Amino acid sequence: MITDDQLVDLIKAYNPNTNEDMVRSAYAYGAHAHEGQTRESGEPYFTHPVEVAALLSEQRLDDITIVTALLHDTIEDTKLTYQTVADAFGDEIARLVDGVTKLTNLQLSSVETKQAENFRKLLMAMSRDPRVLLVKLADRLHNMRTLRFLKTEKQVQKARETMDIYAPLAGRMRMQSMREELEDISFRVLNPEARASILRRFVVLRRQNGEMIPQITEDIRRTLEDAGIEADVFGRQKKPYSIWRKMQDQGEVFGRLSDIYGFRIIPTSVEECYRTLGAVHQRWAAVPGRFKDYISQPKSNGYRSIHTTISGRSAKRVEIQIRTRQMHEVAETGIAAHWSYREGARFENPFTVDPVRWLERLTARFEASETPNDFLEHVKLEMFTDQVFCFTPKGEVIKLPRGATPIDFAYAIHTRIGDSCVGAKVDGHRVPLWTRLRNGQSVTIIRAEGQRPQASWEDMVVTGRAKSAIRRSLREENRAAHIRLGSEIARVALERVGKTASPKALRTAAEKFGHSDPEEMLARLGAAEITGSDLIATLYPELTAGAQAVAAPGRGPGIVGLDTNQVAQPAPCCQPIPGDRIIGIAVRGRGVEVHAIDCYMLAKLEDRAEEWIDLAWTQGAGSAAHLACIEVTMANDAGVLGRICTLIGEQRANIADIVFTDRKPDFYKVVLDLEVRDVAHLHNVQTALAAESDVSDVVRFRGEVADGPLPVT
């Protein structure tokens, strides 16, 4: 375990003015608090906080963050409290330690909805002081380095959580070296065969081509010397997980990948970066489509660099990144550079984005998300995707994730522009709205007043902002349609019992359903959350009671053929009504179920035909209301569903329920529960609907129940 002297020496190497007494005091305080505790490896537990502190010292972080690392598990795993830590080291450190504890307790690998809500809390906590995240990421990195001491299932759970949340988050914060190590360890656990295969291929390459990295590095150095450019050059082979991800994304085998080697050139100034780019392109052929200038158009998190891919030695494609030393520090340590020290003083890197402001913008962008899952989706999109830069007709730059479409572009400008989008021009040419935008393109959005987002747009866009706006608009549009449909259902239902759907009646019904606004009640009625029968029962319970008395199943005038102690009810699988030939089956706990003679369930009971009961409808059975279902396929046009409801009302049938079973851009399929008198009445309804020009098909719908014979008594 690193001693306090060794830790202080690590800090003094970049910050000679460190508060040595505070660091030593925190070391002793944490060691005492964790005394007697051990890790799964058998080591003293305090080795873990010390290693986390050492990792953060490699990032040249301030004393406050280092001390927080030493104490980060004290509130969670020892008898110490927030107040005792605050009394010993002050409120700022206690607040950071408490923040790390809360992040640890979020359990990000839990079920999806809980994970989404917890991830929202994680980002909110980060936005208050991102140093909480720096400690947490270092904590996770050390835990991953010692993952082998855990049980296999625990290793898999931690690796998956790291790959899903922490590694992308480290990448989004531009802590690239930390991200790569987190990914590599997780990859080793989750897919060891793939990782081993890639490492074997690297061995084969070295055997075939020799040590390519030193050779290409020397080629680049000589080229820069000839051009009079002073720069450092570093080469490396890509990490196994990075290679594997490229193979998955590009659908390529290992041997066809273009950039398994990467090189960084660090010139002395921005001007020298562009001179270096010219020298490299003069010496080697550039690969088309693989150039990105993040110096003139930096990423939103402060990343700056020039990327190009060339055809180098032996025609091997290699990726080259060109950036200054200060840009390189931001690229490697990300937001940690904001707190970094050099020679005892806070080092102000001009390319560092204020992490507090950046995280506030990030979280504010998703405040409009109506559900935690929407929020998680948006943030993951924000973290996982690279960016493209496109221009408005006025020359303004719009940053979008890779794969974005003109619809994403429109919503990135303003929600009103996205909602009213009907087309787009890219570089002056009309293109489909599903076109994937590329770097440097100029995009013009064509708008039309009255246009509304289409449901198909949600599958075209990739940004969380666009998805959220489209869903919100569709919900509002559906609500309006549900209100119109609910008004029609209410009118037909009330007219059937001789009443009028007056504003006063609807207000009264809404109040009884617990809504202050009648439109909310009508929207629920149109969405089939309540039925026309529910409306009648709420306003006129005496009418419903009378109807139920007539329609109640059982012995008596409705059905003949039952014993005196038998009670019948229609089977849900076929829903027989007067006019259907019927058979009874005695079912334990449910009396006698009445089936239509052509019900598919009867075929499963043919070997017990002696248990069937011959039944028939009485002559007066058709005077009561019976439930039957029809499936209607109709055009997806305005007013069609309202006309269907009107036709059903004109046939003196009542709609008890309505369910959309299939929604397509051109046609809908709906299942309607109707209260009818008998088969002839149902046939009249079907005939009236079939005559409607916007109805393509009307069939009697009989739902199915689970396979297997009924439990016969």
Return the HEC string of 194-229: HHHHHHHHHHHHHHHHCCHHHHHHHHHHHHHHHCCC
Q: What number of other Cβ atoms are within 10 A of residue 118's Cβ?
A: 19
Please tell me the distance from the alpha carbon of residue 682 to that of residue 204, in angstroms, as a whole number.
76
- Catalytic pick among 77, 164, 377, 519: 77
Scan for tokens 């030493």, then name that residue.
70
Scan for tokens 């040419």, then name that residue.
429
Q: Are 340 and 179 in contact (CB under 8 A)?
A: no
The token pair at 153 is 């299932």
- Catalytic pick among 4, 58, 76, 117: 76
Please tell me the distance from the alpha carbon of residue 291 to that of residue 289, in angstroms, as a whole number.
6
**Cβ neighbours of residue 704 closer than 8 Å, sequence gap 6 or more:** 573, 600
Q: What number of other Cβ atoms are within 10 A of residue 182's Cβ?
A: 26
Q: Are 287 and 258 in contact (CB under 8 A)?
A: yes
544 phi and psi angles, rounded to 5 deg:
-65, -40
Residue 76 is a catalytic residue = yes
Strand partners, 292: 307
Q: Are 591 and 568 in contact (CB under 8 A)?
A: yes
Return the HEC string of 624-651: CCEEEEEEEEEECCCCHHHHHHHHHHHC
Please tell me the distance from the alpha carbon of residue 328 to that of residue 333, in angstroms, as a whole number.
9
The packing angle between helices 20-33 and 82-89, to 10°, is 150
Strand partners, 231: 267
What burial class does residue 208 get, using C-beta atoms within 10 Å of its C-beta: 0-12 exposed, 13-18 middle, 19+ buried?
exposed
The token pair at 361 is 């913008």
The token pair at 637 is 């046009």
Strands 292-293 and 626-635: unpaired
Scan for tokens 């640890």, then name that residue.
104
Alpha helices in 636-712 (DSSP H): 640-650, 679-690
C-alpha count within 13 angstroms, C-beta hemisphere, residue 686: 18
The token pair at 450 is 């009255």
296 phi and psi angles, rounded to 5 deg:
-75, -25
Q: Are 405 and 462 in contact (CB under 8 A)?
A: yes
Query: In which region does residue 162 sit, left (phi positive, over 0), alpha (psi from -120 to 50) or beta (all else)?
Result: alpha
**Cβ neighbours of residue 437 closer than 8 Å, sequence gap 6 or more:** 388, 390, 400, 404, 405, 406, 408, 409, 426, 443
Q: Are 389 and 443 in contact (CB under 8 A)?
A: no
Strand partners, 560: 616
Please tell me the distance from the alpha carbon of residue 618 to that of residue 622, in angstroms, as a whole number.
8
SS3 500: coil
Among residues 592, 577, 594, 597, which one has the least CA distance to residue 673?
577
Among residues 404, 508, 501, which one has the least CA distance to residue 460?
404
Residue 77 is a catalytic residue = yes
Which residues are part of the catalytic machinery? 76-77
